Structures are given as structure tokens and as C-alpha cells.
Chains A and B, each alone.
Chain A
């Protein structure tokens, strides 16, 4: 029990250290960027995820295999509920993404840190309780009330955090190595309703088009002092938002024409190439899954 707690605490401390460091790095990077390009538009964190998945060296792996492997890992983490299993999964996924996938460790951590903030906050709300009288093993007087917690609850919280991180890193392995189009392909293969799959395809494409349009409009507003003070900025924002609606309607029309010109008749079907399944990969990953599932019984 004590070992578990120590394990989790070390993990938590490491996490917070990374978070702090990452923030500094980010700030420095942003400043350097602004310095270089002046008004460069940043697309935010998730666009870089899209790019990483495209650049990953394990992109060639069969997407069905990758998605099912990630899902199997998530299920194992939840069902086994064992901190060692969770840690092994975290390490293994980092290995797959960084060493096999060729993503820089710093980039991997920065992507993993996006959910970290949410996870830590939600773990806090699970662990901590509020009462009017002092209670529990630890409590803190906050004027009108006490916040308190029990040792067992603390431990439970830490284990939960490890479990969530393991599941998140398994999914992260999938997203950082599989482009969206391939994930959509897997969904289509697994008989998700056609409407949803088609919508996903369209949305994925249109996000980038609309981002592009908004970046252009923003730049042109910027060049005409559209953001010189707060009031003007609000005004400009409203105008751009309104214009975006008009433009997206126009674009939708233009797209529909272009699709009709290519014999579109109501069903959006794309040509996909089948990626071969590497047998060695499947065997080793099944081995890994079996090892994980019997692991708790070995250690006891």
C-alpha cells in the first residue's frame, strides 16, 4: 500500500515539474515566434497533433490494428485497476510514440500535458470534501468551513490518476500516429452510422478551410488597425464572426457545385487503400496485452 502511494506521489511531482517547465518553454517559444514573424497566426495545440500524426514513423501501421490496440489497452487499464499495469502502459506508450514514432520527447510531453490540467483538477474534486466541522485524517480550516480528506481517499485518488493517465496515453499513442482520415476509415469499417462518418470527414476538411479564412480576415483587420483598442477589437471580432457565417454558406455552395460536377449523388464515398497488417506487430502486441492481463496475479 505504502509503495503504491509513494509511486503515485513521485509521478504527481514529476508531472507538476514537467507542467511548470513546459509552460516556461512554451512562453519562450511563443515570444521567439512573435519576434520572428510579427503577426504569425498560431493554430493552437491540436493542429500540431494533426501534423505529428501525419509525420509519425508508425503511420504506416494498419489503422485498424492501432485503434483496436489502443482501445484494448484502455479497457485493460480500467478493468485491471492496477497501478503497475498503468505505469507499464504509460511507459510503453511513451516508448511507442517517442522511440518508434520518432516524435520529440518534449513535443510528446506537451501534448500529454493538455489533458493533465483537467485530470489533476478533477482528481482534486474527488479527493477533497467540505464540511463545517474538522474531520478526516487531514483538514484545513478555511474560515467558515473545513476542507478535509482521508488517507484511503488520497490513495484512491492517486491510483485513479495513474489509471486515467495510462488510458489517456494509450489514446494519445493512437492519435499521434494515425491521421484523422484513417481514424474515420476505421470508424466506417466498424459500421458507425454513415451520416456521422460523412460529417466527420467534412468537418475535418472544413475546420482547416475556415481556420484559413479566419486567419486571412484577422490579418486584414489587423493591418487596418482593427484591434487598436478593446472596443474596436470586440467590434472587429463580431464582424469577422458574421462574415465567417456568410463565407461558410458561400463555400458550402461552391463545394456542392464542385461535388455535383464530379457525379456526387448523395453518398460520400472515398477511395481508401488497404494497409497491410504486420503479423509480427500483432503477435507482439497480443503478447503485451496477455502479459498485462496476467501481471496483477504474478505480483501477488
Chain B
């Protein structure tokens, strides 16, 4: 059993205008998990992220990080160990060169300068942006800015990395790049939380899905469970991923007979294997 890294108990958050954004969120996150967070706009995903990052303080409820209950004194620990890649890179990039930007987080961690330098070089290498090191952010393209904003967080070496709708506003090439980055982060054992509206992507990538609706988590389970639960899909205005729909259609038309261990295909190549296995 993996180590429990973050536990949220009965989290409530109300915005300044009196509108409640979170109404009792309970969740446990284990080390190395790949979690997709889904739900319609305004369902509380981003607020949830800002709360578990310690930027917003919950009205009520407890956050337990690595067995330590977070309070006002050690809230910095939370920010140190959980990084957010914001949805709009233009709302995150603050410095006037790429290198200074990537170094902003490590500098705030009060690391020695040599260590900051090392981390900045590593993160830039990781995201393949070393060639832009001295470039001001306004001379970068959208995809390049996204890479910079991810390098920002990688340089801080957090345990949990949150991506807030990373695939929005990315072209297919950059989206593929992002999936590659997610894969290598996962290989390093990082815990990843990612919010998205792309059901196909969530189905193919995630190990676990949290569904938010009106400030509550209404479902928490594996992608197959979530996407087969019509009730949840309807409530959260989600639709089934194409792959799942096709697979069920194939079952329904008796082209495939439900294999005994019920392995759902996640990628096209899985489906191909199933279909080819049929012929042989």
C-alpha cells in the first residue's frame, strides 16, 4: 500500500462575495497517484487546488500533509511540497527573463545560490527551454510559455504537482509534449493531480478520477467505474470517452465477447490487440 501523502477532511471554503465554493470535501491522496479532477466550470476544482496549496485558507476543515496537520505556522511546508501549474501561463510568469522566472520559486525557498543555479539548469533542460534562457516572456509562444510555467514548478521539486487544465489552449503537438512530461514525472514517483475537461485524455491517462459538482466530490474511483456510472456522468455534465463507448458498442453487437477479466482498453493499441486476438 502506498504512503498516504495528503488527507483533506471536511473542507469548506466561501468566497468573499458569500458564494460557497467548497462544501465539505473529503479526500485521501496517496504517493505516486495519477489523479484526474473533473467537473464543470465553477464546480470548485481550482478553489480546491488553491486550498490544498495553502494559498487560500479553508473556512473549516483539516489538511493533513504527510501525517502533520497543517495550520498557519507550517503552511509554508504545504506550498513548498505542492506546486501548481496554473491554467494561464500569462497569469503565472512574473519575471522578465525565462531564467529568472524558473529561479523565482527556488529563490523563495531560500536555497543557496549554487543550488538554485543547478535546479534552474535542470528544470530548463527538462522542459527543453534552455535556448530561451535570456528571453523575455513576451517573446515566447503559447506552448513555450506553458513549458516555462511547468519548469517553474519542477525547479521547486515538490512532492505533488497540480496541473490546472493544462491541455486547454495547447495545440496537438504541445499536448503530446505535455503527456510526455507527465509520463516522465510519473516515472520519478511524483504525485500528480490534473484537472481537465477532456474525457478521452482523463480516461487514457488517469489511475483515479475525482468528480467535483457544486463544491463537493460526488465520485471518486477508477476511470472505468466513473465513466460507467451514468448517474455521476449526468450530474457532472460529463460524457463517456469515445474509446469506452466504442468498446461497449463492440460488446453489444457481439463483435467482442466480454473477456473474462474485464480489461477495458485504454489506448487504440489495446483495442487493436483485443480485435486481433479475436481473429487468431
Contacts and interface: CB of A to CB of B under 8 A. Distances in A.
Interface of A: 50-51, 54, 59, 179-181, 184, 201-202, 204-205, 208-209, 212, 251, 254-255, 257-265, 268-273
Contact of B108 (A50, A204, A262): A262
A262 B83 CA distance: 7
B80 A271 contact: no
A271 B96 contact: no
Nearest to A207: B138
A252 to B, nearest CB: 10
A271 B116 contact: yes
A89 to B, nearest CB: 28
Contact of B100 (A255, A263, A271): A271
A180 to B, nearest CB: 6
Given A255-B94, A257-B55, A181 B138 contact: no
A205 B137 contact: yes
Given A205-B96, A262-B79, A269 B91 contact: no
Nearest to A50: B136
B215 interface: no
Contact of B105 (A54, A59, A263): A263
Which has the most chain A C-beta neighbours within 10 Å: B96, B104, B105, B134? B96
B138 A208 contact: yes
Contacts of A269: 107-108
A181 B108 contact: no
B96 A201 contact: yes
B108 A263 contact: yes
B249 interface: no
Nearest to A211: B138
A272 B53 CA distance: 27
B76 A263 contact: yes
Interface of B: 50, 53-56, 76, 79-80, 83-84, 86, 88, 90-97, 99-109, 113, 116-117, 120, 134-139, 152-153, 156
B240 to A, nearest CB: 33
B102 A271 contact: yes
A179 B116 CA distance: 22
Contacts of B84: 258, 261
B108 A271 contact: no
23 contacts: A54-B135, A181-B96, A208-B137, A209-B138, A254-B86, A258-B91, A260-B55, A261-B79, A262-B104, A262-B105, A263-B79, A263-B156, A268-B94, A269-B107, A269-B108, A270-B95, A270-B100, A270-B103, A270-B104, A271-B102, A271-B104, A272-B99, A273-B99
B103 A54 contact: no
Contact of B136 (A181, A260, A264): A181
Given A181-B136, A269-B108, A272-B100, A259 B94 contact: yes
A180 B96 contact: yes
B82 to A, nearest CB: 8
A201 B55 contact: no
A258 B148 CA distance: 14
A265 to B, nearest CB: 7
B102 A258 contact: no
A53 to B, nearest CB: 10
A190 to B, nearest CB: 18
Contacts of A181: 95-97, 100, 136
A91 B109 CA distance: 48
A255 B106 CA distance: 17
Interface pairs A-B: 10 shortest CB-CB:
A271-B103, A270-B100, A181-B96, A263-B108, A208-B138, A254-B91, A262-B105, A258-B92, A260-B55, A261-B84
A179 B136 contact: yes
A104 to B, nearest CB: 19
Contacts of A212: 90, 138
Given A180-B136, A259-B94, 12 more contacts: A179-B134, A180-B96, A201-B95, A202-B94, A255-B91, A260-B54, A261-B83, A263-B79, A270-B100, A271-B106, A271-B107, A271-B113
Which has the most chain B C-beta neighbours within 10 Å: A51, A212, A254? A254
B79 A260 contact: yes
Which has the most chain B C-beta neighbours within 10 Å: A262, A265, A269? A262
Contact of B99 (A204, A254, A255, A271): A271
A212 B101 CA distance: 20
B1 to A, nearest CB: 30
Given A179-B134, A205-B95, A270 B79 contact: no
Contacts of B101: 270
Nearest to A208: B138
Given A251-B91, A271-B117, A265 B96 contact: no
A261 B95 contact: no
B139 A270 contact: no
Contacts of B117: 271, 273
B152 A51 contact: no
Nearest to B89: A258
Contact of A51 (B56, B107, B139): B139
B65 to A, nearest CB: 15
B96 A254 contact: no
